[in-house]
A and B are shown apart, each in its own frame.
Chain A
Amino acid sequence: MKINIPFIKHIAELSRIKLSKDELEKFTPQMKTILDSATVVQDVNTEGKQPMKRHIPFSTLREDEAGETLTQDEVLKNAPHKELGFIKVYGKVFGSIEES
Chain B
Amino acid sequence: MGNDKYDLIVGLEIHIQTKTKSKMFCSCPTGYFHEEPNTHVCPVCLGLPGALPVPNKRAIELCILMGLATKCVIADEIYFDRKHYFYPDLPKGYQISQYKNPICSNGKVELSNSTVEIERIHQEEDVAKSTHHIESGTGLDYSLIDYNKSGVPLIEIVTKPCIRSAQEAKEYATRIRQIARYLNISDADMEKGQMRCEPNISIQEKGKWDYKDGMITAIGDYKLNPKVEIKNIGSITAVEKSIEYEFKRLSEALESAEEIVQQTRGWNADRGITEFQRSKETADDYRYMAEPDIPVIEISQEDIARISEELVELPHEKIVRYKEGYKLSEYDAEVLSAERNVAEFYDKLVEELDKEIKDLPTSAKLASNSITGTIFSWLNEKGISISEADLDLDDLVEWNLALHENEITKSKAEELLKKSLDKGEDLSNLLDVFRTKAKKSAGNIEDIVKDVIKENQNAVEDYKDGKKASLGFLIGQVMQKTQGTADPNEARSILMEELEK
Stretch of B52-60, B110-118, B169-177, B384-392 on the interface side: B52-60
Complex Cα distance A54/B292, Å? 10
Knowing A53-B295, A69-B42, A83-B144 are in contact, say whether A59-B303 is a contact too (CB < 8 A). yes
Q: CB-nearest residue of chain B relative to A57?
A: B298
A65–B21 CB distance below 8 A: yes
A62 to chain B: closest CB distance in Å? Answer: 5
B153 to chain A: closest CB distance in Å? Answer: 9
A91 to chain B: closest CB distance in Å? Answer: 6
Across-interface contacts of B77 in A (CB, < 8 A): 55
A91–B141 CB distance below 8 A: yes
A64–B29 CB distance below 8 A: no
Across-interface contacts of B141 in A (CB, < 8 A): 90-93
B119-136 residues at the A interface, CB under 8 angstroms:
124, 126-127, 130, 132
**Number of residue pairs A-B, CB distance < 8 angstroms:** 152
Per-residue CB contact flags for chain B residues 20-49 toward chain A (1 = under 8 Å, else 0) read 111000011110000011111111001000
A70–B21 CB distance below 8 A: no
Knowing A64-B22, A75-B147 are in contact, say whether A16-B142 is a contact too (CB < 8 A). no
A95 within 8 A of B: yes
A71 within 8 A of B: yes
Per-residue CB contact flags for chain A residues 68-100 toward chain B (1 = under 8 Å, else 0) read 111110011000010111111111111111111
Complex Cα distance A69/B31, Å? 13
B279-311 residues at the A interface, CB under 8 angstroms:
284-285, 287, 290, 295-300, 303
Across-interface contacts of B168 in A (CB, < 8 A): none
**Cross-interface CB contact of A63 among B57, B95, B154, cutoff 8 Å:** B57
Across-interface contacts of B145 in A (CB, < 8 A): 86-89
A64 to chain B: closest CB distance in Å? Answer: 4
Complex Cα distance A84/B284, Å? 34
B87–A93 CB distance below 8 A: yes
Complex Cα distance A72/B196, Å? 28
Knowing A58-B303, A88-B143 are in contact, say whether A69-B86 is a contact too (CB < 8 A). no
| Range for the number of chain A residues in contact with chain B | 35 or more
A66 to chain B: closest CB distance in Å? Answer: 4
Complex Cα distance A67/B57, Å? 15
Across-interface contacts of B284 in A (CB, < 8 A): 98
B246 within 8 A of A: no
Across-interface contacts of B341 in A (CB, < 8 A): none
**Cross-interface CB contact of B41 among A61, A75, A91, A94, cutoff 8 Å:** A75
B36 to chain A: closest CB distance in Å? Answer: 6
A15 within 8 A of B: yes
Across-interface contacts of B40 in A (CB, < 8 A): 69
B144–A87 CB distance below 8 A: yes
A66–B29 CB distance below 8 A: yes
Across-interface contacts of A99 in B (CB, < 8 A): 87, 89, 127, 231
B376 within 8 A of A: no
Q: CB-nearest residue of chain A relative to B279?
A: A96
B147 to chain A: closest CB distance in Å? Answer: 7
Per-residue CB contact flags for chain A residues 15-26 toward chain B (1 = under 8 Å, else 0) read 110000000000
Residue in A56, A58, A90, A94 with the greatest tally of chain B CB atoms within 10 Å? A58
Across-interface contacts of B21 in A (CB, < 8 A): 64-66
B277–A72 CB distance below 8 A: no
Across-interface contacts of B142 in A (CB, < 8 A): 81, 88-91
B296–A54 CB distance below 8 A: yes
B5 within 8 A of A: no
Q: CB-nearest residue of chain A relative to B135?
A: A90
Across-interface contacts of B99 in A (CB, < 8 A): none
Complex Cα distance A62/B126, Å? 19
B147–A96 CB distance below 8 A: no
B38–A86 CB distance below 8 A: yes
Could you list 19 A-B pairs, sorted by A, with CB under 8 Å?
A14-B85, A16-B86, A53-B295, A56-B296, A57-B297, A58-B60, A58-B78, A61-B56, A61-B60, A62-B56, A62-B57, A70-B43, A84-B37, A84-B144, A87-B38, A94-B87, A97-B87, A100-B124, A100-B154
Nearest 6 interchain pairs by C-beta: A67-B27, A64-B58, A61-B57, A86-B144, A66-B29, A54-B295
Give me 11 other A-B pairs in contact (C-beta within 8 A), A16-B86, A99-B231 excluded. Answer: A15-B86, A55-B296, A64-B59, A69-B41, A70-B43, A81-B142, A84-B37, A87-B88, A89-B88, A100-B95, A100-B196
